[in-house]
Amino acid sequence: MKSIILSCLFLFLNFALLAQITKPEVTEVWDPEPRLVTPGAKYAAPPSDAIVLFDGTSADNFTHDGQKPVDWIVKDGIMTVKEGTGQIVTKEEFGDIQLHLEFRTPSVVEGEGQGRGNSGVFLQGRYEVQILDNFENRTYANGQCASIYKQTPPLVNACRKPGEWQSYDIIFNAPVFNTDGMRIRPGFVTVLQNGILVQNHTLIQGTSEYIGMPKNIAHGDGPIFLQDHGNPMSFRNIWVRKL
C-alpha cells in the first residue's frame, strides 16, 4: 500500500510540474553547447527517383497552407521568404522519406539568438528540424540549427557563415499509430548538415511545440512545411525520395 501511495504522489507531482509550463524558457536547454565543426563543400543533384519539389523555376509544388499560390520570391533559381506571407506547404503528403534541401541565411546579420536567420523544415507538418543562423550566434542548444526543435540538440554546430549556402540531408522514419490512435512506434530522424552528421537516428518525442511538451496525436502521411519566421531566408534544390 505504501508503494502505491508513493507512486501516486510521484505521478501527481509530475503532472503538477507539467501544468506549470507556461513560458517558452522553461523548456530551453543551453548546456552543453554543441562543439563547432567546419563543413566541406559541394551539393547534391536529385537522383533519378526523386520528386523535385523546387528546381529553381517555380514554387508550384507548394502552397500557403494548402490553399493559395506561393507569394515567396522566386528569382535566379532561388526561392526567398517574403515576410508576412506565411509558411509554405507541399501539395503532396509523405510518410518515410529522404529529403534534400539547401538554404541560405541572410548575409546582412540582423538580430541575435532566435531572431537571426530563423526558419525550419517541418516533417509531416509536425516535427521541426530547426533552421537558424548559429555561426557565432548562441541560443539554447535544443533550438539551434539542426536541432529537433525543443527536443534534441545537434551533435555538433556545422553552420557556415551568414550568406553562404548550406545543405540538409534528412532521413525521416514516420511514427506509426494503431487504429485506436495510440502511437505504437515513434518517429526517428537522421540529419546531415553540410555533409556532417548532426542527428543520428534520433527519436522524435512528438510534435515540435514552442511552449509545453511534445504531443502524439494520431495521423497519417503529411506535407512538408517551410517556415516564414520573418527573416529573408533563401532555398534551392529541394527534392524528396519516398522510402
- State the CATH number of the domain containing residue 171: 2.60.120.560
Rounded distance between C-alpha atoms, residue 79 and residue 128, angstroms: 20
> Quick check: helix, strand or coil at residue 90?
strand
**Confidence (pLDDT) at 42:** 53
When pLDDT is averaged across residues 177-197 and rounded to a whole number, the result is 97
Is the predicted pLDDT of residue 158 greater than 60, yes or no?
A: yes
The amino acid at 37:
V
Q: How confident is the model at residue 6 (pLDDT cuts 50, 70, 90)?
A: very low
Paired with 166 in beta bridges are 103
**Confidence (pLDDT) at 202:** 98
Q: How confident is the model at residue 94 (pLDDT cuts 50, 70, 90)?
A: very high
**Confidence (pLDDT) at 110:** 87
- Could you tell me if residue 55 is left (phi over 0), alpha (psi between -120 and 50 degrees) or otherwise beta? alpha
**Confidence (pLDDT) at 22:** 84
Q: CB within 8 A of 139, min separation 6: which ones?
A: 113, 114, 132
Per DSSP, helices labelled H in the chain are 2-19
State how many domains the chain has.
1
- Give the number of other Cβ atoms within 10 Å of residue 118's Cβ: 23
- For residues 50 and 239, the answer to whether their CB atoms sit within 8 Å is yes
Rounded distance between C-alpha atoms, residue 192 and residue 198, angstroms: 6
Query: Mean pLDDT, the chain, as a whole number?
Result: 91
Is the predicted pLDDT of residue 9 greater than 80, yes or no?
A: no
Is the predicted pLDDT of residue 109 greater than 60, yes or no?
A: yes
**Confidence (pLDDT) at 43:** 60
- For residues 9 and 17, the answer to whether their CB atoms sit within 8 Å is no
Give the rounded percent of residues in the chain with a pLDDT score beyond 90: 78
> Which of 14-18, 86-90, 103-107, 118-122 shows the lowest per-residue confidence on average (mean pLDDT)?
14-18
Rounded distance between C-alpha atoms, residue 62 and residue 235, angstroms: 13
Question: Using omega within 30 degrees of 0 as the cis cutoff, is the peptide bond preceding 47 cis?
Answer: no
User: What is the domain extent for residue 142?
Assistant: 2-242
Is the predicted pLDDT of residue 123 greater than 90, yes or no?
A: yes
**Confidence (pLDDT) at 56:** 96
